[in-house]
C-alpha cells in the first residue's frame, strides 16, 4: 500500500512540474504573441464600401505597420493624404514609381506598363475597371491607388487633375492590410494580388498574422491545460483513495 502511495506521490509531483512548465510556456506564447502583434499591427475600421468585396464598409482590419518604401503593387494600404481628406483611407496600390497605369484593355482589365493585370478579387461584374478610361504615369516616390469597387471609389483617377496627378507620396502610407478580423463571416487573410507578381519588384510577402495567431492559440491551450491539471489530479486522487479504502474494508 505504501509503495502504491509513493508511486502516486511521484506521479503527482511530476505532473505538477509538467503542468507548471506548460503554464509558463503558455504565458510566454500567449502574452508574447499579443505584445508582438500589438507592436507590428494596428486595427482600422474601413469607412466606405470602396474596397468591396475584399473589405466591406464597417469591417475591422489588421494592418501591419510598414514604411512607405516597403509598399509593392497589389498591396492594400492605409494612408492619409491631405489632398484626399482628413481621415485614414484604404485603397489598393496598382502603380509605383515610373509605372504607366491605364484603363483598360478590351476585356476591361487594368494595364500596368502594357501588361494586363488579372484581379480576381474585384466584384463579379462585367465592368471590372473604373467608371472612366484613363492613362497616367506615376512620378518617382509616388503611388497610384484604386479601390476594388471601382465604380464606387474616389481614388487616383478621380484626382488626376490634382497637382500630384492623382498619386500620393509613399510616406503617406501608415500600414498594409493583411487580414479582416470583423465581421465574423468575413474573417481571414486578404487574397494575394498574384496578377502583379510578374512585374519588377514582385508582390509583398504576407505579414506574420498566422504565426502570431498560432502562438496565442497554443499559449491559451497550454495555460488552460496546465491550470486544469491540479483540480483534475486531485479529483482522480480522491477517487483512487476512496476505491482503496473500499477495497481494504471488503478485504478486512
Q: How many CB atoms lie within 10 A of CB 93?
A: 27
Question: Which backbone phi and psi does 181 adopt, to 5 degrees?
Answer: -115, -5
Task: Give yes or no: 42 in active site.
Answer: no
Task: Give yes or no: 156 in active site.
Answer: no
Cell output for 160 = 488626376
- Which is the catalytic residue, given 19, 54, 91, 156? 91
CA angle (168 as vertex; 125, 44 as ends), nearest 5: 70
- Which is the catalytic residue, given 2, 16, 42, 50? 50
Q: Would you name the residues annotated as active-site residues?
A: 50, 91
Amino acid at each position: 500500500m505504501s509503495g502504491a502511495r509513493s508511486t502516486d506521490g511521484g506521479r503527482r509531483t511530476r505532473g505538477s512540474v509538467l503542468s507548471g512548465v506548460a503554464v509558463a510556456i503558455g504565458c510566454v506564447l500567449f502574452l508574447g504573441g499579443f505584445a508582438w502583434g500589438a507592436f507590428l499591427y494596428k486595427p482600422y475600421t474601413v469607412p466606405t464600401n470602396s474596397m468591396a468585396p475584399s473589405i466591406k464598409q464597417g469591417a475591422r482590419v489588421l494592418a501591419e505597420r510598414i514604411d512607405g518604401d516597403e509598399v509593392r503593387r497589389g498591396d492594400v494600404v492605409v494612408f492619409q493624404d491631405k489632398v484626399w481628406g482628413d481621415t485614414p483611407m484604404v485603397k489598393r496600390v496598382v502603380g509605383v514609381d515610373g509605372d504607366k497605369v491605364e484603363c483598360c484593355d478590351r476585356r476591361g482589365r487594368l494595364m500596368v506598363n502594357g501588361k494586363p493585370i488579372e484581379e480576381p478579387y474585384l466584384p463579379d461584374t462585367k465592368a471590372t475597371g473604373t467608371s472612366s478610361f484613363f492613362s497616367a504615369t506615376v512620378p518617382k516616390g509616388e503611388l497610384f491607388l484604386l479601390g476594388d469597387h471601382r465604380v464606387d471609389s474616389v481614388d487616383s483617377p478621380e484626382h488626376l487633375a490634382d497637382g500630384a496627378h492623382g498619386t500620393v507620396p509613399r510616406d503617406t502610407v501608415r500600414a498594409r492590410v493583411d487580414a479582416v478580423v470583423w465581421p465574423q463571416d468575413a474573417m481571414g487573410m486578404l487574397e494575394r494580388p498574384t496578377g502583379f507578381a510578374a512585374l519588377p519588384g514582385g508582390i509583398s510577402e504576407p505579414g506574420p498574422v498566422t504565426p502570431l495567431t498560432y502562438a496565442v492559440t497554443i499559449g491559451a491551450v497550454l495555460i488552460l491545460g496546465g491550470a486544469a491539471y491540479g483540480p483534475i489530479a486531485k479529483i482522480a486522487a480522491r477517487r483512487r483513495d476512496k476505491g482503496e479504502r473500499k477495497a481494504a474494508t471488503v478485504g478486512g
